[in-house]
Protein backbone atom coordinates (compact mmCIF):
# COMPACT_ATOMS: atom_id res chain seq x y z
CA UNK A 1 0.00 0.00 0.00
CA UNK A 2 1.43 3.36 -1.08
CA UNK A 3 -0.60 6.04 0.53
CA UNK A 4 -0.44 9.84 0.64
CA UNK A 5 -1.89 11.85 3.52
CA UNK A 6 -2.78 15.37 2.42
CA UNK A 7 -4.07 18.27 4.46
CA UNK A 8 -3.22 21.59 6.03
CA UNK A 9 -0.70 21.92 8.86
CA UNK A 10 -2.20 21.00 12.22
CA UNK A 11 -4.96 18.83 10.77
CA UNK A 12 -3.55 15.72 12.48
CA UNK A 13 -1.73 14.07 9.55
CA UNK A 14 1.14 12.94 11.80
CA UNK A 15 -1.19 11.24 14.30
CA UNK A 16 -3.23 9.57 11.57
CA UNK A 17 -0.07 8.45 9.78
CA UNK A 18 1.13 6.72 12.96
CA UNK A 19 -2.24 5.02 13.56
CA UNK A 20 -2.44 3.82 9.95
CA UNK A 21 1.17 2.66 10.05
CA UNK A 22 0.43 0.43 13.06
CA UNK A 23 -2.65 -0.96 11.32
CA UNK A 24 -1.20 -1.48 7.83
CA UNK A 25 2.31 -2.39 9.04
CA UNK A 26 4.06 -0.05 6.63
CA UNK A 27 6.47 2.76 7.60
CA UNK A 28 5.59 6.45 7.73
CA UNK A 29 7.73 8.84 5.72
CA UNK A 30 7.28 12.21 7.42
CA UNK A 31 9.29 14.84 5.59
CA UNK A 32 8.69 17.35 8.43
CA UNK A 33 10.24 14.91 10.96
CA UNK A 34 13.13 14.14 8.60
CA UNK A 35 13.85 17.85 8.16
CA UNK A 36 13.63 18.55 11.92
CA UNK A 37 16.11 15.70 12.52
CA UNK A 38 18.43 17.19 9.88
CA UNK A 39 18.18 20.62 11.54
CA UNK A 40 18.91 19.12 14.98
CA UNK A 41 21.91 17.22 13.60
CA UNK A 42 23.18 20.38 11.86
CA UNK A 43 23.58 18.63 8.49
CA UNK A 44 23.96 20.58 5.25
CA UNK A 45 20.32 19.85 4.41
CA UNK A 46 19.23 20.96 7.90
CA UNK A 47 21.08 24.24 7.59
CA UNK A 48 19.58 24.90 4.17
CA UNK A 49 16.06 23.97 5.31
CA UNK A 50 15.95 25.80 8.63
CA UNK A 51 15.18 29.29 7.39
CA UNK A 52 12.34 28.05 5.16
CA UNK A 53 10.84 26.03 7.99
CA UNK A 54 11.02 28.76 10.62
CA UNK A 55 9.33 31.25 8.33
CA UNK A 56 6.56 28.81 7.39
CA UNK A 57 7.73 28.50 3.78
CA UNK A 58 8.35 25.32 1.80
CA UNK A 59 11.81 23.87 1.39
CA UNK A 60 12.75 23.85 -2.34
CA UNK A 61 11.25 20.98 -4.35
CA UNK A 62 14.49 19.41 -5.53
CA UNK A 63 15.85 19.06 -2.00
CA UNK A 64 12.63 17.37 -0.93
CA UNK A 65 12.53 15.03 -3.91
CA UNK A 66 16.14 13.92 -3.28
CA UNK A 67 15.33 13.31 0.39
CA UNK A 68 12.23 11.23 -0.34
CA UNK A 69 13.85 9.32 -3.20
CA UNK A 70 16.64 8.11 -0.89
CA UNK A 71 14.11 7.12 1.78
CA UNK A 72 11.74 5.13 -0.42
CA UNK A 73 14.62 3.11 -1.83
CA UNK A 74 15.28 1.69 1.66
CA UNK A 75 14.42 -1.96 2.28
CA UNK A 76 11.62 -1.29 4.79
CA UNK A 77 9.69 0.75 2.19
CA UNK A 78 9.47 -2.08 -0.30
CA UNK A 79 6.21 -3.31 1.31
CA UNK A 80 4.67 0.15 0.91
CA UNK A 81 4.62 3.37 2.92
CA UNK A 82 2.56 6.29 4.11
CA UNK A 83 3.74 9.69 2.93
CA UNK A 84 3.02 12.38 5.52
CA UNK A 85 3.80 15.90 4.32
CA UNK A 86 4.97 14.93 0.83
CA UNK A 87 4.13 15.81 -1.90
CA UNK A 88 3.33 19.40 -0.97
CA UNK A 89 3.43 20.90 -4.47
CA UNK A 90 2.25 19.67 -7.87
CA UNK A 91 5.93 19.66 -8.94
CA UNK A 92 6.74 17.23 -6.11
CA UNK A 93 3.82 15.00 -7.14
CA UNK A 94 5.04 14.94 -10.74
CA UNK A 95 8.57 14.10 -9.55
CA UNK A 96 7.16 11.28 -7.41
CA UNK A 97 5.36 9.76 -10.34
CA UNK A 98 8.49 10.18 -12.51
CA UNK A 99 10.36 8.13 -9.91
CA UNK A 100 7.94 5.33 -10.78
CA UNK A 101 6.08 5.50 -7.47
CA UNK A 102 2.48 4.60 -8.18
CA UNK A 103 0.48 6.09 -5.33
CA UNK A 104 -2.64 3.97 -4.79
CA UNK A 105 -4.63 6.14 -2.46
CA UNK A 106 -4.75 9.78 -1.36
CA UNK A 107 -6.47 10.60 1.92
CA UNK A 108 -7.15 14.32 2.27
CA UNK A 109 -7.98 15.58 5.77
CA UNK A 110 -10.07 18.74 5.96
CA UNK A 111 -10.44 21.33 8.72
CA UNK A 112 -11.23 25.03 8.72
CA UNK A 113 -8.43 27.59 9.07
CA UNK A 114 -9.96 29.00 12.25
CA UNK A 115 -9.84 25.63 14.02
CA UNK A 116 -6.29 25.01 12.79
CA UNK A 117 -5.05 28.36 14.11
CA UNK A 118 -6.59 27.53 17.51
CA UNK A 119 -5.08 24.05 17.52
CA UNK A 120 -1.56 25.02 16.48
CA UNK A 121 -1.06 28.26 18.34
CA UNK A 122 -2.00 26.56 21.63
CA UNK A 123 0.43 23.65 21.17
CA UNK A 124 3.43 23.46 23.53
CA UNK A 125 5.98 20.67 23.76
CA UNK A 126 8.48 19.32 26.25
CA UNK A 127 11.49 18.98 23.97
CA UNK A 128 13.33 16.24 25.89
CA UNK A 129 10.40 13.78 25.98
CA UNK A 130 8.27 14.97 23.06
CA UNK A 131 5.23 15.32 25.39
CA UNK A 132 2.67 17.60 23.76
CA UNK A 133 0.27 19.91 25.63
CA UNK A 134 -2.43 22.31 24.50
CA UNK A 135 -3.35 25.45 26.41
CA UNK A 136 -7.08 24.74 25.87
CA UNK A 137 -7.54 21.00 25.35
CA UNK A 138 -4.71 19.49 27.41
CA UNK A 139 -3.10 22.16 29.62
CA UNK A 140 -0.10 21.32 31.82
CA UNK A 141 -0.80 21.28 35.58
CA UNK A 142 1.50 24.28 36.05
CA UNK A 143 1.59 27.05 33.49
CA UNK A 144 4.00 26.19 30.64
CA UNK A 145 5.86 23.54 32.68
CA UNK A 146 6.10 19.83 31.94
CA UNK A 147 3.92 17.72 34.30
CA UNK A 148 6.59 15.06 34.85
CA UNK A 149 9.88 16.96 35.07
CA UNK A 150 8.70 20.52 35.81
CA UNK A 151 10.93 21.70 32.97
CA UNK A 152 9.80 24.59 30.75
CA UNK A 153 7.67 23.84 27.70
CA UNK A 154 8.51 25.43 24.35
CA UNK A 155 6.53 26.23 21.24
CA UNK A 156 7.72 24.76 17.95
CA UNK A 157 9.19 27.80 16.24
CA UNK A 158 6.77 27.39 13.33
CA UNK A 159 3.69 27.10 15.63
CA UNK A 160 3.67 30.78 16.65
CA UNK A 161 0.56 32.62 15.41
CA UNK A 162 2.16 34.56 12.52
CA UNK A 163 4.00 31.52 11.18
CA UNK A 164 0.85 29.39 11.39
CA UNK A 165 -0.88 32.00 9.21
CA UNK A 166 2.00 31.88 6.72
CA UNK A 167 1.90 28.05 6.66
CA UNK A 168 -1.84 28.12 5.94
CA UNK A 169 -1.36 30.56 3.07
CA UNK A 170 1.38 28.39 1.64
CA UNK A 171 -0.93 25.37 2.00
CA UNK A 172 -3.80 27.04 0.13
CA UNK A 173 -1.58 28.35 -2.65
CA UNK A 174 0.85 25.49 -3.20
CA UNK A 175 -0.54 22.29 -1.68
CA UNK A 176 -4.31 22.49 -2.14
CA UNK A 177 -3.98 22.30 -5.97
CA UNK A 178 -2.79 18.72 -5.40
CA UNK A 179 -6.39 17.74 -4.62
CA UNK A 180 -7.48 18.43 -8.18
CA UNK A 181 -4.16 17.17 -9.57
CA UNK A 182 -4.80 13.75 -8.03
CA UNK A 183 -8.57 13.65 -8.57
CA UNK A 184 -8.22 14.53 -12.27
CA UNK A 185 -5.27 12.24 -13.03
CA UNK A 186 -6.20 9.51 -15.46
CA UNK A 187 -5.34 6.18 -13.87
CA UNK A 188 -4.44 8.18 -10.76
CA UNK A 189 -4.92 7.08 -7.16
CA UNK A 190 -8.29 6.91 -5.46
CA UNK A 191 -8.87 10.17 -3.57
CA UNK A 192 -10.98 10.51 -0.45
CA UNK A 193 -11.72 13.67 1.50
CA UNK A 194 -12.39 13.23 5.21
CA UNK A 195 -13.36 15.72 7.89
CA UNK A 196 -10.75 15.92 10.65
CA UNK A 197 -13.17 17.58 13.06
CA UNK A 198 -13.54 14.65 15.47
CA UNK A 199 -10.94 13.22 17.82
CA UNK A 200 -8.04 11.15 16.51
CA UNK A 201 -9.77 7.77 17.05
CA UNK A 202 -12.92 8.89 15.20
CA UNK A 203 -10.92 10.14 12.23
CA UNK A 204 -8.85 6.94 12.22
CA UNK A 205 -12.03 4.84 12.14
CA UNK A 206 -13.25 6.78 9.08
CA UNK A 207 -9.93 6.31 7.27
CA UNK A 208 -9.91 2.60 8.04
CA UNK A 209 -13.44 2.20 6.74
CA UNK A 210 -12.50 3.93 3.47
CA UNK A 211 -9.41 1.79 2.99
CA UNK A 212 -11.40 -1.35 3.82
CA UNK A 213 -14.03 -0.48 1.24
CA UNK A 214 -11.30 0.10 -1.32
CA UNK A 215 -9.46 -3.20 -0.83
Q: Interface residues with ligand AMP (CB under 6 A)? A: 9, 31-32, 35, 52-53, 56-59, 64, 85-86, 88, 92, 158, 167
Q: Of the two residues 32 and 140, which places its CB atom closer to ligand AMP in the complex? A: 32
Smallest gap from Cβ 177 to ligand AMP, in A, equals 14
Minimum distance of ligand AMP from residue 179's CB (angstroms): 15
Helix and strand numbers (H, E) in the chain are: 9, 7
Nearer to ligand AMP, 14 or 80 (CB): 14
The residue among 112 and 214 lying less far from ligand AMP, judged by its C-beta, is: 112
Provide, rounded to whole angstroms, the least separation between the CB of residue 133 and ligand AMP.
18
Coil, strand or helix: which one is 192? strand
Would you say 42 or 213 has its CB closer to ligand AMP?
42
Indicate the DSSP class of residue 159. G
| CA–CA gap between residue 98 and residue 179 (Å, rounded) | 18
Beta-bridge mates of residue 30 = 84
**Residue whose beta carbon is closest to ligand AMP:** 32
The HSE-up count of residue 71 (CA atoms within 13 Å, CB side) is 21
In whole angstroms, give the CA distance from residue 158 to residue 170: 13
Alpha helices, DSSP H, located in 25-172: 31-41, 44-54, 61-72, 90-98, 113-121, 161-170
Q: Compute the least distance from the CB of residue 160 to ligand AMP, in Å.
A: 13
Q: Residues with catalytic annotation?
A: 13, 88, 123, 156, 167
Amino acid sequence: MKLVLLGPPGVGKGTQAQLLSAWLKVPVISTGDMLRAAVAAGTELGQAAQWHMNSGQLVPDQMMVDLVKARIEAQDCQVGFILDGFPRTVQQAIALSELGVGVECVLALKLSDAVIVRRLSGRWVHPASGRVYHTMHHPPQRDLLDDVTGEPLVQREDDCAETVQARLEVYHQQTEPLLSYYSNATEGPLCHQVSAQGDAEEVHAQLKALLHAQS
